[in-house]
Chain A
Amino acid sequence: MPARKGAAGARMYVIVVGGGKVGYYLTKTLLGEGHEVAIVERDEKVCRKLELDLGEILVHADGSTPAGLELAGAARAQVLTAVTGQDETNLVACQVARTFFNVSRTIGRINNPKNEALFRVLNAGTAVSSTQVITDLIQREVDTRRIQKLLPLATGKVNLFEVDMADTSPVVGRNVAELSLPPGSLLVAVLRGDDVIVPDGRTQLRKGDRLIAVAQSDREEELARLLFGAEA
């Protein structure tokens, strides 16, 4: 596969800690996007398996230690992502990268979604929980309300929502200016058929519109009540 430039056009040096399935495919994907990658794996057996395929970018070391990350050249890395199967190892790897090597962007894989709070409090970077991602997807399926969380921003302080406008919505037919959107929330786009409308005060909401809104997490209920009335 020919290397192509990443979406942002910048080539970055990324350290991947953990040579399991997630680490392996992440490394292959990042290489495919044209980035420079080092993959750090502590287990010798796993290293032997990866070696044939990944060659010189493989570093046999403990990526949760200063010595291991030194070996991987962490001082010049823009991004470190720790994706071993152990939350504690991923946390410490992110902390070591930030504290000892000033890596500004660190991403840790977590199994227990509750560890996200710890990442935040310890300023260890972004925690990614596949458990949480899958839970959210399932939740979206069973959510009878037509307001769906698309993306948490600033680690969940603010969320991006998609709202399906049903004909029973009390705001159908109203202009955006007439809505009293709760403070801490913003309507950013109206999806109507194939059109994307960036709304202003005069934009009229119609049945079947899909609204993209940003709201602080404590304003979600208020927003739902406004858009769906008692139904929510």
Chain B
Amino acid sequence: MFIIVVGCGRLGSSLARSMAGAGHQVTVVDWNPQRFERIADLSEVAQVLGTGIDIDVLRGAGAEACDALVAVTDHDNSNIMIAQTAEQMFHVRHVVARVNDPRTGPLLETFGIQSVCPTQLAADALFATLQADWHGETPKSH
């Protein structure tokens, strides 16, 4: 698969690393050149400098030809806009946006965008870990 990752922060760079490792063709977009240091060792991953909310930047990154696009910048609204641009302007088949604010989830659902909320995932995981830890114990107080 040819996948475009918009946003080369901790999440975007890790994602690019995993996907390139799995044999996919990956292009990463970010406006801040320093962020590419995170993937400097990945020679097979293409880097495109520019803001993801610019249609020409996405086109330059290959949005017309890609199979999937993941919007993982730091800003929820940017990710929403990038995801909608990918779907409506470039007709990308698989699009996912990262949202930080769990309350934004229903909004994306209304707009028909698939999303993942790391905050919610982390909250659920932390809670599940604690539950497993205290499994079988009786509380000290009610």
B65 CB–A CB distance under 8 Å = no
CB–CB B103/A67 < 8 A? yes
Question: Within residues 2 to 17 of chain A, which ones have a CB less than 8 A from any CB in chain B?
Answer: none
A66, A91, A114, A118: the one contacting B77 at CB < 8 Å is A91
CB–CB A87/B110 < 8 A? no
A86 contacts which chain B residues (CB < 8 A)? 77
Query: By DSSP majority rule, is chain A's interface helix, strand, loop, or mixed?
Result: helix
B13 CB–A CB distance under 8 Å = no
A52 contacts which chain B residues (CB < 8 A)? none
A64 CB–B CB distance under 8 Å = yes
Number of A residues with CB within 8 Å of any CB on chain B = 21
Question: Within residues 34 to 61 of chain A, which ones have a CB less than 8 A from any CB in chain B?
Answer: none
B54, B77, B89: the one contacting A92 at CB < 8 Å is B77
Docked Cα-Cα span, A92 to B78, in Å, equals 9
Number of B residues with CB within 8 Å of any CB on chain A = 20
B100 CB–A CB distance under 8 Å = no
A95 contacts which chain B residues (CB < 8 A)? 111
Known pairs A67-B103, A96-B107, A100-B110; A88 contacts B89 (CB<8 A):
no
Chain A residues in the interface with B (C-beta under 8 A): 64-67, 86-89, 91-92, 95-96, 99-100, 112, 114-115, 117-118, 121-122
Name 15 interchain pairs, CB-CB below 8 A, sorted by A.
A87-B81, A88-B78, A88-B81, A92-B81, A92-B107, A96-B107, A99-B111, A114-B54, A114-B55, A114-B56, A118-B55, A118-B81, A118-B84, A118-B89, A121-B88
